[in-house]
Amino acid sequence: HPPPVATDKEEQKRLLENRPDQPQNPKVLRIAIIGAPNAGKSTLSNQLLGRKVFPVSKKVHTTRCKAQGVITHEDTQLIILDTPGLTNPLKAKRHNLDEAMLTDPWDSMKHADLVLVLVDVSDHWTRNSLSKEVLKCLSQFPHIPSVLVLNKVDILKKKFLLLEIATDLTEGIVNGKKLEVKSTLKQDSRSSAKPSLHITRASPLESKVPGSPFGQEKNQAQESSGLDKSSDVGGAGTGEAQVPKHHGPKDLKDVKGWPHFQEIFMLAALRGEEVDTLKRYLLMQAKPGPWEFHSNVLTNQSPQEICNNIIREKVLEYLPLEVPYGVTQVTEIWEEGECGELVIMQSLLVPRESHKRMLIGRGGKVISRIAQEAGQDLMNTFLCDVCLKLKVEVK
């Protein structure tokens, strides 16, 4: 079970400053999760962590800070660098975003040992090509191993489209091998049997087995998903991907995919489907190295930051269009109640009277729903009772 986040700022600070309780042979992996805004990066991060520490919302730019999540499993520590959705200066200006929003994703890439590129396959406008920002990011750091994660596969009715999407996004090449599409999945997709969607190596060692480049489990997964990595590309006879060349911005103009992904995963982060498969893979990719955090640390954020983000997430969810981006949060009370519960009172300051009416809602319905849902999430994060009170004022 993942540890809860401390409710006291000082206690959380002490935990973060605590010397990591290093096991005998520690292993570590720093993971950057990148993708277009709203691809599901925070949802996936929360599922991997087992507790909600990153805000999630359908509105773009819910994640504004560069937070880290920590998964400690036996002798291995995974550090998730949850990055804001990669965006461009024009969109950033429209949403009043910090300059940090434009530079942060690059920053987390610099510290990553592995990058997960998340693509929302339910969005038929964007799913067949990687965004320019993502491609730019990958081509600037070609030496960092990357993995393609197709998210929201549960929403996709026609499962055979996954093959087409995977081929487009990888330019038909994964781990230095050519993807060959078999037609079996087309029949499968009509049957009620749920196709096995992940394609992943059973263990890194199995790639060395002669005549079976991806191990037994691999071949079964390929058969059921209709993807085959049989023929080698570019003379990479061992199936090892060649080191990709650095692309300049001009070269990226007509590029849709990235032919240097090591693996493809297909999952539904919101429902937690196949997230464990990805987690096992990540644990196997960890390299020997000292832990950075004590095993009781789940995130490097302060309890107040988590609280602000979760309340903000709900405000984004329930207010129309650009309105929520103008809300300022001020925490008035943060203390332990008589029965040991955490009492939080926060003022939400809005620029206009009309916004105040929207946020309160008819009969106070909207604001009480926000308080109730945010309170529930905070209980899950802190593992204690939370009494959350919100009031709305015009600033």
| Domains, the chain | 9-181+254-288 (3.40.50.300), 303-394 (3.30.300.20)
pLDDT in tens, 283-307: 999 999 999 999 999 999 999 999 9
Q: How far apart are CA 221 and CA 166, in angstroms?
A: 15
pLDDT in tens, 140-175: 999 999 999 999 999 998 888 999 999 999 999 999
Q: Are 239 and 175 in contact (CB under 8 A)?
A: yes
The predicted model scores a pTM of: 0.79
CA angle 280, 137, 120 (to 5 degrees): 55
Q: Which residue has the higher pLDDT, 275 or 239?
A: 275
Q: What pLDDT, on a 0 to 100 scale, did the predictor assign at position 82?
A: 63
Coil, strand or helix at 363: helix
Neighbours of 291 (CB within 10 A): 21
Give the mean model confidence (pLDDT) for residues 29-34. Answer: 93
pLDDT in tens, 316-326: 888 876 666 78
